[in-house]
Structure 1
Amino acid sequence: MPSTAHWSYFSYFLAHLLISSGAATTLQAQSAESKSNQPNIVIIFCDDLGYGDLGCFGHPTIQTPHLDRMAAEGMKLTQFYSASPVCTPSRAALMTGRLPIRSGMCSNTKRVLYPDSAGGIPESEVLLPEALKEAGYATGCFGKWHLGHLPQFLPTNNGFDEYFGIPYSNDMDRAADSPRGRAAFNAPEVEYWNNPILRGTKEIERPSHQPTITKRYTEEAIRFIKENEENPFFVYLPHSMPHIPLFRSEDFAGKSRRGLYGDVIEELDWSVGQILQTLREQNLDHKTLVFFTSDNGPWLTHGLQGGSAGLLRDGKGSTWEGGMREPCIAWWPGTIPAGTSTAELGSTMDLYVTSINLAGGKVPDDRPVDGYDLTKVIKENSKSPREVMYYYRGQRLMAIRKGPWKAHFMTQASYGQREPVVEETPVLYHLEYDPSEVHNVAEQHPEVIAELTELAEQHKSGVEVVPSQLELRLGKTE
Structure 2
Amino acid sequence: MKNILLIAALLLCTLTYAQESTHKQPNIIHILADDVGFDDLSCFGSIDIYTPNLDALAEKGMKFTSFYAPHGTCTPSRAALLTGRYAPRVNEGKGLYVLFPHSKTGLEDEMEVTITELLKEQGYKTGLYGKWHLGHLPQYLPCVHGFDEFLGIPYPNDHGPERIGNSGWRPNGVSDPAIPLIEQAQVIKRCDNNDLAELPALFTREACKFIYRSVKEEKPFYLQYANIETHTPWFVPKGFEGKSKAAAYGDAVEYLDRSVGIIMNTLKRLKIEDNTIIVFSSDNGPLIYRDEELENCYGKFGFTDPTREHVLREGKYQERYDGGIRVSCIMTWPNNIPAGTTCDEPVTAMDLFTTFANVAGAEIPTDRPIDGKDIQNLMRQEEGAVSPHKAIYGYKARGGLMSVRYQNWKLVFKNKYNPESDNELYLYNLDNDLGEATDVAANNPKVVKQILKLAAEAEQAINEGKNL
TM-score when normalising by structure 2: 0.84
Q: Give the number of equivalent residue pairs.
A: 424
Q: Distance in 1 between matches of 2:177 and 2:49?
A: 27
* Root mean square deviation of aligned Cα: 2.8
1:245 equivalenced with 2:233 (yes/no): yes
2:266 and 2:177 map into 1 onto residues whose CA distance is 33
Structure 1, unaligned runs of 5 or more: 1-18, 182-190, 413-421, 467-478
Match for residue 260 of structure 2? 272
Q: What are the superposed Cα offsets for residues 270-323 of structure 1, whole Å, 9 maximum, x if unpaired?
A: 011111111111111000000001000011123783486721000001121100
Distance 2:423 2:249 in 1: 40
Deviation at 1:32, TM superposition (A): 10
Residues 1:364 and 1:232: Cα distance change in structure 2 (over 3 Å): same
Q: Does 1:53 align with 2:57?
A: no
Separation in 2 of the partners of 1:342 and 1:196?
Answer: 40
CA distance in 2, matches of 1:180, 1:424: 32
Higher radius of gyration, 1 or 2: 1
**More moved, 252-261 vs 68-77:** 252-261
Q: Does 1:167 align with 2:168?
A: no
Taking the aligned partners of 2:18 and 2:131, their CA distance within structure 1 comes to: 34
Q: Is the 8 A contact 2:197 2:237 kept in 1?
A: yes
Could you tell me which of 185, 201, 220 is aligned with 2:185? 201
Counterpart selection for 2:390 from 387, 394, 398: 387
Q: Choose from 286, 310, 316 the match for 1:298.
A: 286
- Give the AA of the match of 1:241: E
Aligned to 2:75: 88
- Aligned-residue sequence identity (percent) comes to 39
Aligned to 1:115: 101
Query: CA offset at residue 163 of structure 1?
Result: 0.2
Query: Quick check: 1:154 aligned with 2:144?
Result: no
1: CA distance, partners of 2:454 / 2:181: 44
Maintained 8 Å contact 1:35/1:232: no
1:39 maps to a residue whose letter is: P
1:315 aligns with 2:315: yes
Q: Which residue of 1 aligns with 2:372?
A: 371
- Match status 1:225 vs 2:211: yes
Contact 1:49 1:296 in 2 (8 A): yes
SS at match of 1:196: strand
Write out per-residue CA displacement over residues 249-284 of structure 1, whole angstroms, 9 at most, x where no aligned residue: 123111112221111111000011111111111111
| Residue aligned with 2:449, SS | helix
Kindly tell me: are residues 356 and 339 of structure 1, through their superposed partners in 2, closer, same or farther at Cα, counting changes over 3 Å?
same
- Cα separation, partners in 2 of 1:193 and 1:386, compared to 1, 3 Å: same
Aligned pair in 2 of structure 1 residues 338, 172: CA closer, same or farther (>3 Å)?
A: same
The offset of 1:240, in angstroms, is 1.4
Distance 1:105 1:66 in 2: 40
The answer on whether the counterparts of 1:407 and 1:429 sit within 8 Å (CA) in structure 2 is yes
**1:264 partner SS:** helix
Matched letter for residue 352 of structure 2: L
Give the TM-score normalised by the residue count of structure 1.
Answer: 0.83
Deviation per CA, 1:67-111: give whole Å up to 9, x if none.
010011111000000010001000001100000100149989x84
Give matches, 1:29-40, under 5 Å. 33=20, 37-40=24-27
Change (3 A) 1:34 1:145: farther
Contact 1:411 1:423 in 2 (8 A): no
C-alpha distance in 2, partners of 1:41/1:217? 17
Unaligned runs of 5+ in 2: 1-5, 168-174, 292-301
Question: Matched residues in 2 for 1:231 and 1:254: separation?
Answer: 40
Are 1:398 and 2:399 matched, yes or no? no
Q: Note closer, same or farther for the CA distance 1:75–1:147 as it changes in structure 2 (3 Å cut).
A: same
Q: Which residue of 2 aligns with 1:4?
A: none
AA in 2 matched with 1:402: Y
In 1: Cα distance, 2:52 partner to 2:177 partner: 32
Q: 217-226 or 455-464, which moves further after superposition?
A: 455-464
Quick one: distance in 1 between partners of 2:280 and 2:408?
24
Relative to structure 1, the CA distance from residue 314 to residue 106 in structure 2 (aligned partners, 3 Å threshold; closer, same or farther) is farther
Amino acid at match of 1:315: G
Q: Which letter maps to 1:274?
A: I
Aligned partners of 1:284, 1:444: CA distance in 2, in Å? 53
Q: For residue 155 of structure 2, give the secondary structure of its aligned residue in structure 1.
A: coil
Letter in 2 for 1:318: Q
Contact kept? 2:414, 2:424, Cα under 8 Å: no
Alignment of 1:357 with 2:358, yes or no, is yes
Q: What amino acid does structure 2 have at the position aligned with 1:325?
A: R
Distance in 1 (CA, whole Å) between partners of 2:356 and 2:214 is 18
